[in-house]
Amino acid sequence: MSNVALEHITKRFKDVTALDDVSFSITHGEFFVLLGPTGAGKTTTLRVIAGLEKQDHGDVIFDGVNVNKYTPADRDVAFVFQQYSLYPTRTVYENLAFPLQSPLRKWPKERIDQRVKEVAEKIHIAHLLHRKTANLSGGEMQRVALGRALVRSPRLFLMDEPLSNLDAKLREALRIELQHLQKTEGSTTLFVTHDQIEALTMADRIAVLNQGRIVQIGTPYDIYDRPATTFVAQLVGIPRINLLPAVRENGLLNVERSTIRLPLPTDRTIPQRFLLGIRPEDVRLAPDGDLRGEVALTEPLGVETVIHIRSGQQTLLSIAPGITDLKIGDVIAYSIVRERLHFFDLDGVRL
Amino acid sequence: MFGLDIPLPDFWIAYFFVFWVLIGGTTAPVMFRHQGHPVWLGVLTGGVVGVISGVVFMVLLTVLKPLADVVDDPFLGILVSILISAVLILIALGWLRRFVPLARANEVVTLAEGGPRAPVTYSTRVDKVDPSWLSVQGIRATVVVMLAVLSLIPVVWMGMTAFKSRADAVASPPKVIFEPTMEGFISLLTKRRQLTDAQIAEYKQREDLAWYDEVMLKRGQAIIGQSDYVKRLRNSLIIASVSTVLSVTLGLLSAYAFSRFRIPGEGDLLFFILSTRMLPPVVVTIPIFLMYRELGLYDTHIGMILLYTAFNLSFSVWLLKGFIDEIPREYEEAALVDGYTRMQAFRKIVLPQAVTGIAATTVFSFIFAWNEYAFALMLTSDKARTAPPSIPSVLGTGGIEWAAIAAGSLGFLIPVVIVTFSLRRYLLRGVTFGAIRQG
Ligand SMILES: Nc1ncnc2c1ncn2[C@@H]1O[C@H](COP(=O)(O)OP(=O)(O)OP(=O)(O)O)[C@@H](O)[C@H]1O
Ligand SMILES: [Mg+2]
């Protein structure tokens, strides 16, 4: 069942086109992530859905009902803002209770009190309830902002980079908590981020947005393993995908300005010139590998080491588990997993 | 006075003496406390030091007298010599610090755990702050107080004149010490009749005279009724407060709209609103007078309220727009999404945040409406006449009643002081800046 759908949404600000014919739909209980670099139009999408911004063209559909004319209050969505805007001069408790006190809901006091305390427990801010919001730390504010959305049971949660202001540890903890909450309560969530790890780990489905256009929609698996464009391929995955210009030559795949030669795939037609994408984990160091290269740089990360392999004038990133004793200048043998190569035409579209 | 050859009037000599005593009294205790002595010792020494400083100051002024000839301007000469003397004494005071001995261990009274001896320029703990910084604070406070005293003198003089008798009010040289009387207030608030000698004698026999009758009888006058001043003051109060409430309310709503909604021609509209304020009142009074006569608004409360509201509106829209612009939209947007209407969000979220701006606008609007003279003079005659144009009419016949005028001005001053004082808490800006972080 489709809970929320955008159909051909276009939004312009003077001469900037923030959204350009954006369409997607989110099913009930889904954790949908909107991934894109800064300025892609992620916040604008959320604001259009919430009714805070009026689209120029297109429709916002909730359960088959066109809600273009609904006020934000009538749309029944909860919004965690990017710049988390807690009501100042109010306590954390009052901030959490505020959405429930809306005349729209007419909740009795005891029920509000109970709900606020319940949510505060869940996201570990019970000890902050009587503090003023102005002097909370950034991480505490972010939790309260999350809590203010979670007290309600809206049709849809809109979360605009709610974890962006936290340190790595807290971010990870909250990420897991959020995922857990979402799954146990079965709430539909549209989560915005520019962090690919967040997107890959949390999402049921991901929509990649670039310059106001949807580039690809799919499961994390789709996005990572079948990127629709070089943009998507480069956006997800750390270290970045190796993207090398290549030509077809004598029935072989020939990476320009290097010694890499690979057999051509047989299941699709490949143009004369194209871009070859190789994930670093698919470049495997192996004594019996058929390719040779020189170590240009190593970056030990602990769990793994990123090895820059020079082949001709090209440099290839590779990952080796653990810490290696390779030195710059060492000649090594490696192989490339052939089944997992990515082919893009010169415009960056997947072949 | 004081047998010194100082080129200063007595008032200034006294003024500077007080100034130096205050400086000594505020700076010395800091040094003493820092060295571990009880504060009272510092105050005492400071007082003495202040007196000495005052004397030294006067001596220096005398010594520097030839300076006036050098710069060829007596006023400039005295100004420069005051500056030089002040700087010299301040330096000397700074030096004095070295001579305050450290209290012996068993005498240390207040110094908790020994504050840092190296300079710390800011701390919430008084005993941790460097004494030189604290002394500078003391000096600054003293300068501010002395300047405030200086600018309060006219007001104080007015207050004094209000309680003077007719003769004292015009006495020359002016009397600082006088016998207070309510004459000024009574003649302000009453209508009187001049009595002949026979009538005075007759009046004196009467038993039913109230105290104010007696006061006026001494001047040979009998009270025959209330004057218009009370009525005028009431008019002023009604017109000023209603027009202030109106212009702030309307201004708040339109400032909010200007700030939050996309309004076609916003800049032009704002400029147009401001332009209503560009003509001086005197220029537009005649057309308004003609209009008001036709519309039957001449000399009515409604007319004056409308006029002042319109006049203040431009100002309040501009001022409030600035304040509302500073409140991030996210607050209201969060409220909108949380299930509130625009109006509820405005009331619950924007209003509490805009109190500072509202207070400032209220004060300014009220002061304008309260002080306005030109319109009131032209557009009212009796029924709606406000206080400002009526004070000169107290000038009356048969000599100027300075005491009455001073009393009138004093009464006129009080409401503004009350309004400003009761809102002063909100006038301090930036107290409640919100919980928003730029992400
Ligand atoms: N109110 C506005 N007026 C004018 N331009 C705007 C407005 N809001 C957004 N834009 C523009 O629209 C584009 C998309 O903005 P948006 O805020 O949606 O980006 P975003 O994907 O959320 O980026 P970020 O990750 O930095 O938050 C940007 O180019 C931005 O400058
Ligand atoms: Mg954004």
* Model pLDDT for residues B210-263, shown as the tens digit of each residue: 888 888 888 778 888 888 888 888 999 999 999 999 999 999 999 999 999 988
Interval A153-162 mean pLDDT? 91
What CA–CA distances, in Å, run from B139 to A307, B94, B133? 67, 11, 10
What CA–CA distances, in Å, run from B430 to A137, B298, B327? 19, 43, 12
As residues whose CB is below 5 A from the ion ligand 2, the structure lists A 43, 82
Mean pLDDT, all residues of chain A: 90
Neighbours of B309 (CB within 10 A): 23
For every residue of A292-315, which 3-state class applies, written as one string?
EEEEEEEEECCCEEEEEEEECCEE
Is residue B159 scored above 80 in pLDDT?
yes
Q: Which residues of B touch A89 (CB under 8 A)?
A: 352-353, 432, 434
Interval A153-161 mean pLDDT? 91
State CA B342 to chain mean position distance. 39
Which ligand neighbours the alpha carbon of A20 most closely?
1
Rounded to 5°, the CA angle A40-A45-A50 comes to 155
Ligand 2 midpoint to CA A27 (Å): 23
Is residue B306 scored above 90 in pLDDT?
yes
Ligand 2 midpoint to CA A74 (Å): 23
Is residue A34 scored above 90 in pLDDT?
yes
Is residue A241 scored above 90 in pLDDT?
yes
How much is the pLDDT for A231? 94
Interval A310-322 mean pLDDT? 90
User: Which of the listed ranges A4-13, B76-85, B140-149, B394-403 does the model predict with the highest average pLDDT?
Assistant: A4-13
In angstroms, rounded to a whole number, what is the distance separating the alpha carbons of residues B151 and B102?
41
Q: How confident is the model at residue B430 (pLDDT cuts 50, 70, 90)?
A: very low
Neighbours of B422 (CB within 10 A): 12
Is residue B64 scored above 50 in pLDDT?
yes
Ligand 1 midpoint to CA A189 (Å): 21
Is residue B439 scored above 70 in pLDDT?
no
CB contact under 8 A, A88 and B328: no
Tokens of A254: 């020939």
In angstroms, rounded to a whole number, what is the distance separating the alpha carbons of residues B351 and A129?
24
In angstroms, rounded to a whole number, what is the distance separating the alpha carbons of residues B297 and B379?
9
Is A102 in the B-facing interface, judged by CB distances under 8 Å? yes
CB contact under 8 A, A87 and B339: no
Within a 13 Å sphere around the CA of B233, how many CA atoms are in the beta-carbon half? 17
Interval B262-287 mean pLDDT? 86
CB contact under 8 A, A85 and B328: yes
How much is the pLDDT for B437? 35
How much is the pLDDT for B111? 45
Is residue B99 scored above 60 in pLDDT?
yes
pLDDT tens digit sequence for A259-275: 888 888 887 788 889 99
Helix, strand, coil % in chain B, rounded to nearest 5:
70, 5, 25
In angstroms, rounded to a whole number, what is the distance separating the alpha carbons of residues A141 and A90?
13
Interval B338-353 mean pLDDT? 91
Is residue B128 scored above 70 in pLDDT?
no
Closest CA to A24 of A196, A244, A216: A216
Q: Provide CB contacts within 8 A for B228, sequence distance 6+.
A: B382, B385, B390
Tokens of A118: 């319940």
More confident residue, B115 or B340: B340
In angstroms, rounded to a whole number, what is the distance separating the alpha carbons of residues B42 and B295?
71
Query: Which residue's C-alpha comes closest to atom 5 of ligand 1?
Result: A13
Ligand 1 midpoint to CA A162 (Å): 17
Is residue B307 scored above 50 in pLDDT?
yes
Q: How confident is the model at residue B280 (pLDDT cuts 50, 70, 90)?
A: confident
Q: How confident is the model at residue A307 (pLDDT cuts 50, 70, 90)?
A: very high
When mean pLDDT is compared across B53-62, B291-300, B399-408, the lowest value belongs to B399-408
pLDDT tens digit sequence for A131-145: 888 888 878 888 899
Neighbours of A234 (CB within 10 A): 15
How much is the pLDDT for B109? 47
Sketch out chain B's domains with CATH numbers. Answer: 10-101+130-161 (no CATH), 180-227 (no CATH), 230-431 (1.10.3720.10)
Is residue A9 scored above 90 in pLDDT?
yes
CB contact under 8 A, A83 and B341: no
Ligand 1 midpoint to CA A16 (Å): 9
**Matching residue, tokens 């990572």:** A224
How much is the pLDDT for B242? 96
CB contact under 8 A, B353 and A88: yes
Q: Nearest residue of B to residue A83 by CA position? A: B439
Mean pLDDT, all residues of chain B: 82
Q: Which residues of B touch A76 (CB under 8 A)?
A: 339
Pocket of ligand 1 (CB under 6 A): A 13, 16, 18, 36, 38-44, 82, 194
What CA–CA distances, in Å, run from A52 to A45, A173, B334? 10, 31, 10
Is residue A60 scored above 90 in pLDDT?
yes
Is A50 in the B-facing interface, judged by CB distances under 8 Å? yes
CB contact under 8 A, A148 and B334: yes
Q: How confident is the model at residue B106 (pLDDT cuts 50, 70, 90)?
A: low
pLDDT tens digit sequence for A243-252: 999 998 888 8
Is residue B117 scored above 60 in pLDDT?
no
State CA B275 to chain mean position distance. 29
Helix, strand, coil % in chain A, rounded to nearest 5:
30, 35, 35
How much is the pLDDT for B205? 81
When mean pLDDT is compared across A328-332, B220-224, B408-412, the lowest value belongs to B220-224
Angle between helix axes B281-295 and B301-325 (nearest 10 degrees) is 130
For residue A129, which phi and psi values (nearest 5 degrees)? -50, -35
Pairs across A and B, CB distance < 8 A: 96
Q: Provide CB contacts within 8 A for B166, sequence distance 6+.
A: B183, B219, B399, B401, B402, B403
CB contact under 8 A, A105 and B339: yes
Read off the DSSP letter of residue B269.
H
Is residue A343 scored above 80 in pLDDT?
yes
CB contact under 8 A, B434 and A83: no
A42 CA closest ligand 1 atom index: 21
Read off the DSSP letter of residue A236.
S
How much is the pLDDT for B405? 85
A146 CA: distance to closest CA in chain B (Å): 12
Written as one letter, the residue type at B170 is V
pLDDT tens digit sequence for A105-124: 888 999 999 999 999 988 88
Tokens of A212: 């106001």
What CA–CA distances, in Å, run from B190 to B67, B160, B223, B227, B424? 56, 20, 6, 4, 35
How much is the pLDDT for B428? 62
Q: How confident is the model at residue B303 (pLDDT cuts 50, 70, 90)?
A: very high
Is A5 in the B-facing interface, judged by CB distances under 8 Å? no
Neighbours of A175 (CB within 10 A): 18
Is residue A12 scored above 90 in pLDDT?
yes
Whole-number percent of chain B with pLDDT over 70 = 88
Is residue B43 scored above 80 in pLDDT?
yes
Judge if pTM exceeds 0.90: no
pLDDT tens digit sequence for B164-205: 888 888 888 888 888 888 888 888 888 888 888 888 888 888
**Of A10, A43, A210, best ligand 1 pocket probe by most atoms within 8 Å of the beta carbon:** A43
CB A300 within 8 A of CB A323: yes
Interval B370-394 mean pLDDT? 85
**Of A42, A84, A215, best ligand 1 pocket probe by most atoms within 8 Å of the beta carbon:** A42
Q: How confident is the model at residue B82 (pLDDT cuts 50, 70, 90)?
A: confident
Interface test with A, best of B262, B326, B327, B337 (most A CBs within 10 A): B337
